[in-house]
Amino acid sequence: MKFDTLVGYCDEKFRRITGVKRVTFEKMMKILHCAFVLKHVQGGRNPKLPLEEQLLATLEYIREYRTYAHIAASHQIDESNMYRMIRCVEDTLVKDGTFSLPGHKALLKSNMEYEVVLIDTTESPIERPKKSKNNTIAVRKSGTR
């Protein structure tokens, strides 16, 4: 799906399709735009897809688990270029830290009490009938097939 079609959607439909609210999408775009400007200060080649399309393709990959080949085909670019583009967008957003989750230590420091449920998932052997001479097939006894 192209970003131009998403612009006209209401906020609820925008969130249902992209997986993030419009405000969050705009924050992500600001981070990507700042990183793009810093990366291309001295010039460089313009990307085949605009930043909005790159972010939309990344959200499609994360939300829908579509393959790179499928996303690349819908945006008419090569699969390897799509892989590099999605990795770059993900790395840029992770490096910024705005959208990172709290670590394990932050959970330990909180005052919340957690209830833990343990489930025993040990393997048990499948019960199968024992082999005996009484239930063998006559063909096997004769040795011919």
Give residues with Cβ within 8 angstroms of 14, minimum separation 6. 6, 21, 22, 25
Contact residues for 107 (Cβ-Cβ < 8 A; gap 6+): none
Note whether residue 141 is domain-resident: no
**Cα–Cα dist 88/78, whole Å:** 15
Q: Is residue 121 part of a domain?
A: no
Residue 132 lies in a domain: no
**What is the token pair recorded at 139?**
């063909």
pLDDT tens, 36-57? Answer: 999 888 888 888 899 999 999 9
Tell me the two tokens of residue 25. 């999408």
For the segment 77-133, what is each residue's pLDDT rounded down to a tens digit? 999 999 999 999 999 999 998 877 677 777 677 777 777 787 777 777 777 777 776
Number of domains making up the chain = 1
CA angle 111, 20, 87 (to 5 degrees): 95
Residue 19 has pLDDT above 60, yes or no: yes
- Give the range of the structural domain holding residue 45, as residue numbers without chain letter: 3-104
pLDDT at 142: 56
Let me know if residue 139 belongs to a domain: no
Residue 116 within a domain: no
Q: 4 exposed, middle or buried (CB, 10 Å; 0-12, 13-18, 19+)?
A: exposed
* Residue 55 identity: L
- Predicted local distance difference test score (pLDDT) of residue 98: 87
In angstroms, how far apart are the furthest CA atoms of the chain? Answer: 85
